[in-house]
Structures are given as structure tokens and as C-alpha cells.
Amino acid sequence: MNDFVRIVEVGPRDGLQNEKQQVATADKIALIDRLSATGLKSIEATSFVSPKWVPQLADAAQVFSGIQRRPGISYPVLVPNEQGYDRARAVGVEEVAVFTAASEQFNRTNTNAGIDESLLRFEPILARAKADGVKVRGYVSTVLGCPYQGEVPLADVVKVAARLHAMGCYEISLGDTIGVGTPAKARAMLLAVAGEVPMADLAVHFHDTYGQALANIASCLEAGVRVVDSAVAGTGGCPYARGASGNVASEDVVYMLHGMGMVTGIDLAALAATGNWLAERLGRQTGSKTARAMTVS
């Protein structure tokens, strides 16, 4: 069994975009540079969406231009449309991500477009990215539940993930946006999608609303997934889902993986220190549970 797990650090984008307070551009740059020194190989840097919709990331170009990109590390950014792609490419972005949902109502609320419409928007992005030699990652949200429609049929999740993969996304991240999943449901969802998309091309992305994220990840690891999204210090949340807490903390995920005998290539102490540093910038006492425990010990 392959014991290497790649962590996709989403804190600088998915974490900070949902924080209530504005984070200084210099701090965003410092955060990414600190994360680059921990051994992470994938760090989602920012999002080139309209500042009107996501004011927390209005400085996307300045952030990406200011970070020290290290060899062997990918710094993907989110792009919702061709305009976002243009802005990203203008500052040297080499990997982008596109996003949609398995829930029609959630997608319309989040992106002002239905699922089919959003996928049509991605076609020119995928075509241009292929011509430019730019990798594209795909996100599917609400894979285990929607704040509007409730249960999301597995068939809908499979269909959207398969379409993104067929369009050219090298990897599909399956997101439990509101954190309602449990281990058995998470595993069943993953295996259903893996029936259409190779397991090697799948990632999981869990929020920790009900404290199930680590258990869900462990269940999916047993099913064969080897890519996990997480956010340093557990930052984030979902503005469209009342009560949804942040992403699972990267420090907690890495601690669990190392305890399972998995290999990540990440320096846990450096990651925890970065989480505590970010927590201070956000006005919190400490970052994740793992960071707190390591600080006390």
C-alpha cells in the first residue's frame, strides 16, 4: 500500500477567504512563505475571483507576486471564469482550480450559475490551460450534504466529478462543505466516485462542523485516497451554511497521518508553529488542538 499522502494546504485561500477580518497582504505573503518551509508540496495561494464577492482576497495579484515560490512546490489559485484566468496568468500562475457543486441550489447561490452553466464556463479555461501548459484542479462541493436541499444523491456527485475529470482536471477534490458527513457515508461517497474517476485522481476535503473530519479522512484513507485538503490552524468556514466551522486543521491531519505510519514529508513542529503564528494574526490564542498540545508540552 502506498503510504505517502499529499496534503493540499488550502488555508491561504479557502481559510482566509471566510475569515471575518481582513488579513494584511504582507501577512498573507508571510503565511505562504512559512508554509513553503514546512515540507508541503501543494499550497493554494489565493483566488482570482471578483473582489465584490470575496473582498478578503482582493489582493490576489499582489499576494501571488510577493511570495517566494520554491522549486518542487505547486501554488494553485482558484479562478471562476476566463477573466480570473487572465488575471492569474498575468502574474505567472502555473496551476489553477475551478469549482462547482453537486447541489444545483447551492451552486446557484454560491456562483450565480447552475451546474451545467458553470461547467460550460470552464470549457474555455480548460482549453486555454491545456494550450498554456497549466494544470487544472477541480472542486466539487456539497458532496455529503447541502444547506438548502439536504441530502445530495451520490449519482449527482459522481456525475459532476466525472464531467470535470473528462474535461481535463487532473485531480478532483470532493468537498463536504458544511461538515455533515460521517465515516461510512464519506467512504461510500468516495468509492462511488472512484467507480468513474481513478482513485489516484481524487482528493478529499472535509470541514469539521460536527467533529467528524479526522474520522472521515481515516475512513477514506482506508478506501485508498492519498490526497487530503486541509487548512493550517483550521481556518475557514462556509458563508452559505449556518454554523459550518472551518476546514480540518492541517496540523491535526499531519499528526494523525504520522501516527498511522503514513509519510507526508512535512515538519509537524514547523507547521504547528505556523498555525500558532497565524492564530495570533487572527486574534486567537492558539491554532489547532495539535498546535496547542505541542505548545504546552
145, 179 Cβ separation under 8 angstroms: no
Distances 65 to 22, 52, 88, 159, 184 between C-alpha atoms, Å: 19, 21, 10, 36, 42
Catalytic residue among 146, 169, 220, 238: 238
Nearest to 200 by CA among 175, 172, 233, 161: 172
Q: How far apart are CA 74 and CA 93, in angstroms?
A: 10
3-state secondary structure 107-122: HHHHHCCCHHHHHHHH
What distance separates the 2 farthest-apart alpha carbons in the chain?
A: 52
Q: How many CA within 13 A on the CB side of residue 95?
A: 18
For CA atoms 50, 164, 249, 278, give the dihedral sign: negative
Q: Output the CA angle 149-150-154, nearest 5 degrees.
A: 100
> What does 146-166 look like in DSSP terms, one character per residue?
BTTTBS--HHHHHHHHHHHHH
Q: How far apart are CA 187 and CA 233, in angstroms?
A: 25
Q: List the alpha helices (DSSP H) in 133-249.
A: 154-167, 183-194, 213-223
Q: Give catalytic status of residue 220 as yes or no.
A: no
Say how many Å lie between the first and final Cα of the chain, rounded: 33
Supply the residues annotated as catalytic: 238
